Amino acid sequence: MSLSIAMLSVHTSPLDTPGRTRDAGGMNVYMRELASELGHRHTNVDIFTRWTNKNTPRVVQLSPNVRVIHIKAGALSPLHKNDLYQHLPEFIHNIEAFSRGEDSRYDVLHSHYWLSGVAASQLALRWDIPHVTMFHTLARLKQLANP
């Protein structure tokens, strides 16, 4: 039996190229590389991210055992991350619907950034699985470092 991980990244996709959008950077690379390495080690990883472009396929096979799953939450267009919180209930609902539709079961949730942490905390309670979160950066500390 292989481990199955649900990763959440509400505000940016691991498919985004660093520097091409305001929120694409090191976190995108980290998620993509971590998931790919886990996949090569026979761990199944589904990365759930907000769907921002109708021309992007709903599911993208990133590497062996790793999929990026685009979830509708608000308009199918880029939104500033400060505007995403209000769409978290839809994001959570649509992750659950996708998982039910595929009969997916996860062993752990791994969220990236605080928005994803909020969503994953609710899913972890509903699915009764552990949740690990990584903040990558904390805005207040960045503001203090760059006044």
Q: For residue 11, what is the domain's CATH number?
A: 3.40.50.2000
Does the predicted model carry a pTM greater than 0.75?
A: yes
Instruction: Give the domain range for residue 102.
Output: 4-145
| Tally of domains within the chain | 1
| Mean pLDDT to the nearest integer, 111-139 | 89
**DSSP for the chain, written as a single string:** ---EEEEEESS--TTSPTTTSTT-SHHHHHHHHHHHHHHHTT-EEEEEEE---TTS-SEEEEETTEEEEEE--S-SS---GGG-GGGHHHHHHHHHHHHHHHT---SEEEEESHHHHHHHHHHHHHHT--EEEE-S--HHHHHHH--
In tens, the pLDDT along 71-119 reads 999 999 988 878 999 999 999 999 999 999 999 999 999 998 889 999 9
